[in-house]
Structure 1
Amino acid sequence: MYKIGILDSKHHSYVLQPDLEQQVFDGVAELQLFHVSSVAELPEWARACDGFISWHLVPLDAGALQQLTSCRAIVRAAVGYDNIDLGTAAGKGIQVANVPDYGTEEVADHTLAMALALLRRLPRGDQLVRGGCWDWRQVGGMPRLRGFNVGLLGLGRIGTAVARRFQALGCEVSFYDPERPSGWDKAVGVQRCESLDELLERCQLLSIHAPLNPTTRHLIDAEALARLDGKYLVNTARGPIIDPQALNAAIAANSLAGVGLDVFADETQRPPEPLASSPDVLWSPHVAFYADPALAELRIKAAQCLRGLLEQGHHRNVLSAVASA
């Protein structure tokens, strides 16, 4: 019998009962769900689990991983894995995998929804009518979608799905992603930019679909935001890709046409002013990934991946930094 721990946060938890995970392991493992803020809060016996399913608010940094005495595999229940120290995991012989193919449609749909709400000024229109005003002129100016240039920072699975949705509306799509091989742009029918500066210059709306790593942290800084003057910004990827202080300053200066944020650098506190209350900012609570079927898909695939790693020693979703160790 394997011992499996599910590490979920005591705040904003995703799993209430490990029923779906238990079905996947079907008698070959003893599963325990832990709602904790850190590994230090686990009982001593729990740190000897063979494998863990990790949710994003419980950090698995070097210190935390050193406390996992018997762990052979960790599956991050998400696409992103920035809460896990891959180098330390590799050094301890722990395989780490993620679930890169769940919720692609949901994040792409949510990105499009936020962008359309901003471009068509839906929050402003809703506010006017609730206040008794039906004068369409009070909504303000709007761009035409056909021919509108959308810039994508990242063209992986989700970025590609977003590109196709904007293309269906007649938008022109550009992207910057140094990881995509030559010809990817032709296959998808989008315009490649060779630098972030080129993308920021070309686009009228920037949508972020990059992973969070040392290269992308605060990649959208004060200088980048200045290049987006009068343009739109949407982030459904990871909050710290945008420098929060620089973004707050840009909102205070009214330099952006509109901002849609599903993620933020600190998702445990109310955002600072003027970001929190600005009518130019549309918020959602890190929900882009969500639909009832998507959450179930994520939990099942994470458990299937972990079982495969423990029983067979490999899985196609093992992250390269660990697989090569």
Structure 2
Amino acid sequence: MRVTITDLDHDAWDIEQGVAEAEGVEFQILEDGGKDAGLDPRVKGSEGLLVQYADITPEVMDYLLPELKVIGRYGVGVDTIDLDAAEERGITVVNVPDYGTQSVADHAIALALAVARNLPKLDSLARRSTMDLATAAPIHQFCDQTFGVLGFGAIGHAVATKAKGLGFTVQVNDVLIPEGTTEADGFKVVSEDELLASSDIVSIHVPLTPDTSHMINDDKLAEMKDGAIIVNTARGGVVDTDALVRAVQSGKLRGAGLDVLETEPIPAGSPLLSLERVVLSPHAAYYSEESYYQLKRRTMQNVIDVLKGRECPNIVVPRKK
């Protein structure tokens, strides 16, 4: 029984290897694996895969069958895996949906506050020994601002809770909340259009699907409150980057806090790099010492549990009927 890590940008994999060895499972990693790693001859014969950014297409699955039984994705999103193809071929797909809930929520709040308080500009002023606060305006106090949470799953719920604790008025929206619901877990529920139109900060927590790809586009940005802030710690493809740049450049948006982008890492010539009130981080929201350990351990354990016929609570495919 062999499990292969196709690609990984972490600086170590001793946690995964330790889990595999304790289970008596053969372990290998492609240290040079990339987006096309699934077609690497070294992967052939693997019964389980752990993937980070590699594209697992129908072609890859067919190449790795009949041995391939299960694919484990580092993290929550499974948009790099063709789920329909996996289901058609009887390949199980697992993820780790809740490993970084608090870490991502912490990061979303940190980005929101950094943009709202314009900390990069204030830092620059302090380093230049100037107190010209007018150049950092506007800055508003949290208790007079509305914080909108778009996507009210585990992470969205944690963000809403943290924002409420900071004094924001919080409102939420999620397609899974039944129509007509006005309150969920103590938070005001509004329509997507109302959330965009009335929130000073909009924090995005939806998965990337065909329905959510570029859901934040020119039209949606035009609906937003003038001077609002966008925070995205979900998936880069949910936001149309070009539209976002236009909205910030025009002054429609006050700024943005982005941990995820459509192209990662960010290209050297990206116009986002020249926007002063856009705060960027390199897809790091998931990271904390605690979440890092859990991500690595549980991704490997999920794959092995499926291979050994044990119950696994984090199965994405086969889908529940």
TM-score normalised by the shorter chain: which range applies? over 0.9
Q: Structure 1 246/308 Cα, relative in aligned 2: closer, same or farther at 3 Å? A: same
The one-letter amino acid paired with 1:213 is T
Q: Which residue of 2 aligns with 1:290?
A: 287
Using the TM superposition, give the Cα deviation of residue 139 of structure 1 relative to its aligned residue in structure 2, in angstroms: 2.6
2:4 counterpart of 1:8: no
In structure 2, the residue matched to 1:274 is 271
Return closer, same or farther for 1:181/1:15 CA change in 2, 3 Å cut-off. Answer: farther
Is contact 1:150–1:171 with CA below 8 Å preserved after alignment? yes
Q: Match of 2:253, SS?
A: coil
In structure 2, what is the Cα distance between the partners aligned to 1:97 and 1:41?
17
- The whole-number CA distance in structure 2 between the counterparts of 1:185 and 1:90 is 37
C-alpha offsets along residues 280-323 of structure 1, whole Å, 9 cap, x if unaligned?
A: 2111111111112211110001111111111125411101x523
Contact 1:150 1:206 in 2 (8 A): yes
**1:315 is matched with which residue?**
312
Unaligned runs of 5+ in 1: none
**Contact 1:8-1:15 within 8 A present in 2 as well:** no
Q: Does the C-alpha gap of structure 1 residues 231 and 40 become closer, same or farther in structure 2, counting only changes over 3 Å?
A: closer
TM-score, L = length of structure 2: 0.92
Structure 2 Cα separation of the partners of residues 279 and 285 of structure 1: 17
Pair 1:20 & 2:15 matched? yes
Give the whole-Å Cα distance in 1 for the aligned partners of 2:136 and 2:241. Answer: 28
Determine the C-alpha separation between the residues in 2 that align with 1:119 and 1:260.
9
Matching residue's letter, 2:173: Y
CA distance in 2 between counterparts of 1:40 and 1:299 reads 19
Counterparts in 2 of 1:129 and 1:29: CA distance versus 1, 3 Å: same
Query: Does the alignment pair 1:204 with 2:200?
Result: yes
- Per-residue deviation at 1:120? 1.1
Contact 2:248 2:254 in 1 (8 A): no
Partner of 2:57: 61
1:18-67 deviation digits (Å, cap 9, x = unpaired): 32122223152100011312445754352221111111x21112222222
Deviations 1:164-207 (A, max 9, x none): 0001012111111111357987452111113x212111211111
| Match for residue 209 of structure 2 among 198, 210, 213 | 213
Instruction: Say whether the 8 Å CA contact 2:37–2:54 is kept in structure 1.
Output: no
Alignment partner, residue 263 of structure 1: 260
User: Are the counterparts in 2 of residues 172 and 190 from structure 1 also a CA contact under 8 Å?
Assistant: no
Does residue 144 of the first structure (1) align with residue 141 of the second (2)?
A: yes
Q: How many residues in Structure 1 have an aligned counterpart in Structure 2?
A: 317
Alignment match of 1:172 (pick from 169, 172, 195): 169
Aligned partner letter, 2:189: R
Percent identical residues: 35
Change (3 A) 1:63 1:163: same
3-state SS in 2 of match to 1:101: coil
Q: Which moved more, 1:65-74 or 1:271-280?
A: 271-280
The 8 Å contact of residues 151 and 173 in structure 1, kept in 2 or not, is answered as yes
Give secondary structure in 2 for the equivalent of 1:82: coil
Corresponding residue for residue 239 of structure 2 = 242
Deviates more, 1:229-238 or 1:34-43: 34-43
Query: Which moved further from structure 2: 236-245 or 133-142?
Result: 133-142
TM-score by length of 1: 0.91
Shift of 1:269: 4.1
SS of aligned partner of 1:67? helix
Q: Partner residue of 2:48? A: 51
Q: What is the aligned counterpart of 1:109 among 106, 111, 115?
A: 106
* One-letter amino acid of the counterpart of residue 224, structure 1: K
Q: Distance in 2 between matches of 1:183 and 1:294?
A: 36
Letter in 2 for 1:203: S
- 1:89 and 2:91 aligned: no
Structure 2 residue identity aligned to 1:33? I
Determine helix, strand or coil for the equivalent of 1:233. strand
